[in-house]
Amino acid sequence: MIAIISDIHANFAALEAVLEDAKQHGCQQYICLGDIAGYHSEINQCIEALSSIQDLVLIRGNHDQYLISGSGCPRSKHVSATLEYQQKTITSGNLEWLAKSQPCYLAGNTYYTHGGPHDNLEQYLYSVSDDIFPSDFLRLVVGHTHVQVELSLGGRIFCNPGSVGQPRDGDPRAAYAILKDDKIILRRVSYDIKRTQAQMAEAGFPEYSYANLAIGAQVGGRIDTIKHFSADHV
């Protein structure tokens, strides 16, 4: 069985809970859809936990790219401030490990990436329909929106496993997916949110940057959904 994880965003308590749940369900392989970096304070702990996994496919997310390049985020001063903190705290070895990530992963009839097939880093798939799939692929698995969903669109499967470290779909539990016998199982796992919030407070992060974790929302409180254009809804 394969665990599909995404959008960890340096939330170590959430990642620990997901990795333990995946282990209990017999997962030995892992696919990470990116964004280990960004938003929270424990970047080194998250990378060290993931780098210890022998069978791991590592895909690059947009926050990972910002951290690797040192560019910051062009859209958000808050994100850039968090990345500046992570640039000061990340070890050189962990940054080198993160830089080995790849833009996408193709396995059989499945296309895995962070954003979408048209832009691996930055494409936000809040609306999906049959025409989003790359040719010849029957399944598209992406992260980036932090909204957990599985949809059948014209006989092909679209999946977002949701976010481990910052769910935005109104459910504060950490989200991921398991691929078992070619079927996707969506999972939610409770974790110690107060532990993450306390770590961030100790690191000097403002309260608004982590209060959202308790309600499963974006920083600022917005809750997101995925719209789809097909009657065939899994």
Q: How many domains does the chain have?
A: 1
Q: 208-224 pLDDT, tens per residue?
A: 999 999 999 999 999 99
pTM (2 decimals)? 0.95
Convert the pLDDT of each residue in 177-218 to its tens digit.
Answer: 999 999 999 999 999 999 999 999 999 999 999 999 999 999
Please compute the mean of the pLDDT values over residues 220-234 and round it to a whole number: 77
Question: Has residue 136 got a pLDDT over 90?
Answer: no
Is residue 171 in a domain? yes
Position 106 in a domain: yes
Q: What is the pLDDT of residue 20?
A: 98
**pLDDT-based confidence at residue 78 (cuts at 50, 70, 90):** confident
Task: Tell me, yes or no, whether 233 lies in a domain.
Answer: no
CA distances, 140 to each of 19, 53, 129, 137, 233 (Å): 23, 24, 11, 7, 15
* Phi, psi for residue 127 in degrees, rounded to 5: -125, 130
> Which residue range is the domain that position 71 belongs to?
2-228
Q: Is residue 234 part of a domain?
A: no
- 137 in any annotated domain: yes
Q: The CATH number of the domain where 217 resides is what? A: 3.60.21.10
Look-up of token digits 């079927």: 183
Query: Is 212 in a helix, a strand, or coil?
Result: helix
Rounded mean pLDDT of 26-46? 97
Rounded Cα gap, residues 101 and 52, in angstroms: 15
The predicted model gives 8-28 an average pLDDT of 98
